[in-house]
Structure 1
């Protein structure tokens, strides 16, 4: 009699390794300060671009260099105030920023002992708030350092590949790349670290929409459309490289970071990646 091998032991068919799930969209921290600053932040960037536009047209190199520290400060402030750092969980961030909803602190007894307990509690909360700020400042500083060291050379190379002058305007190219890198990469590195899966999605334009990815994608698209006026024969001083590219990146970042938080776009993905096209072809065959 033939024995049933499937009943006597486990199947020998190899199972495919489980794929690592994609990182979830980044949410703005729930504190009121974070909510307010996340709206003010794009306005600050547009105000910086608008107020320094005339100086940028007169002397692009000098103006790009002088405004770069202000841009870095605005982006670090945004990351520290509004975003959870890489490796944190929503529960720990919400508990660190504010007490849990629906729970009230125990009522302290009146008298000298109650006053001492109240002062100790306030001192402990003050210490925890400073520890929370420091825990965000350190990864923000590291993110900015990686942005200058890694993202700026990559974007400078991309600018050259897409038509920036190779033998002239080198300072303008590098400084424009630095501005675009601080705009797009600082928050990405702060929120996701060096997660390979996330960065594969970034380069494949496959991240789910959120304020961080929307701002980065908007900066890239804005710079792309900003390059359109450069070759046009209008003889305007603001058409010089890289003025329109930089202005487009600022406007695109502001629009992308705001629009990607709306219910219409939040969590959605761009639908033209190779993986999704392959899945569609399998379903149709």
Structure 2
């Protein structure tokens, strides 16, 4: 009696786990090609520096009152810059195809189109300003305390310093990138490609860092009081960073931390 033969059963070998593909990094932000946008992109840093220079003595004499009164002007400058950099809607009344009847067109109401265009430009700017005020300001104020700002005194100065730094750095990032988690990971990791927006943000932080150097020195000058030199450095850093980061030498490049050491560690593990 012949014994039954079993047919071979194919066994699927376990496939290695494949991590989901990472979202590609957002490209650097380009300045629009229109003459108005390009001109204002250079005028805006100059206006910021001019504001800081002409209001410096008033800030030294009464920091809280002056910083509070300058906040609306700084917010207006930042919103106006974003509006200038925003893509423009096509001029003239738009036409849309009537659904179901190809080739037949109808004109939209000019009034509705105008209001929609204005709202489309203003809404992102105001939303970025609101998120900057509600989120970035307390975060930067807390970072100032962690880096040595007084905790039990000068609370108003710390909060106003954080508000000015937030407007200088975070407004443009929120406006151009929204709340994209991948972009903000690059921001906190200091790995964004260089552009005018990222350059202004990074320059604000570096300028504030170097601006804190004169505070502990024994010069006995009124302008050494917290947070005057920190804000002066933040304004200068924001303007300089916005200008130099768009140059061909830096545009689109990223900061790399000690690549030689990383290569040596990789060779040792291999």
TM range (shorter): 0.7 to 0.9
For structure 2, which runs of at least 5 residues remain unmatched after alignment?
1-7, 93-106
Query: How far is 1:13 from its partner?
Result: 3.8
The structure 1 residue matched to 2:42, chosen from 28, 39, 56, is 39
RMSD: 2.9
Which residue in the other structure is 2:217 paired with? 232
The structure 1 residue matched to 2:244, chosen from 232, 238, 259, is 259
Query: How far is 1:10 from its partner?
Result: 10
Deviations 1:94-116 (A, max 9, x none): 7x3689xxxxxxxxxxxxxxxxx
**Partner Cα separation in structure 1 for residue 154 and residue 217 of structure 2:** 19
State whether structure 2 residue 52 is matched by structure 1 residue 49.
Answer: yes
Contact 1:29 1:35 survives alignment (8 Å) = yes
Deviations 1:123-180 (A, max 9, x none): 96x9767644421210110110111100000000000011101111110000010000
Query: How far is 1:80 from its partner?
Result: 1.1
SS of 2:51's partner is helix
SS of 1:152's partner is helix
The structure 1 residue matched to 2:137, chosen from 149, 152, 173, is 152
Deviations 1:190-215 (A, max 9, x none): 00000000000000000000000000
- Seen in structure 2, the aligned counterparts of structure 1 residues 213 and 239 have a Cα distance that, compared at 3 Å, is same
Q: What TM-score results when the alignment is normalised by the length of structure 1?
A: 0.79
Which residue in the other structure is 2:67 paired with? 64
Which structure's CA Rg is the greater one?
2
For structure 1, which runs of at least 5 residues remain unmatched after alignment?
84-92, 100-119
Number of aligned residues:
249
Deviations 1:227-277 (A, max 9, x none): 000000001111010000000000000000000000000000010189x97
- Seen in structure 2, the aligned counterparts of structure 1 residues 128 and 36 have a Cα distance that, compared at 3 Å, is farther
Taking the TM superposition and a 5 Å limit, the aligned residue runs for 1:182-261 are: 182-261=167-246
**The 10-residue stretch of structure 1 (188-197 or 130-139) with the greater mean CA deviation from structure 2:** 130-139
Q: Which has the higher helix share?
A: 1
Give runs of ≥4 in structure 1 deviating > 6 Å. Answer: 8-11
Query: How far is 1:29 from its partner?
Result: 1.8
Which residue in the other structure is 2:164 paired with? 179
**Partner Cα separation in structure 1 for residue 12 and residue 247 of structure 2:** 53
State whether structure 2 residue 15 is matched by structure 1 residue 12.
Answer: yes
State whether structure 2 residue 232 is matched by structure 1 residue 271.
Answer: no
Which residue in the other structure is 1:107 paired with? none
- Seen in structure 2, the aligned counterparts of structure 1 residues 53 and 22 have a Cα distance that, compared at 3 Å, is same
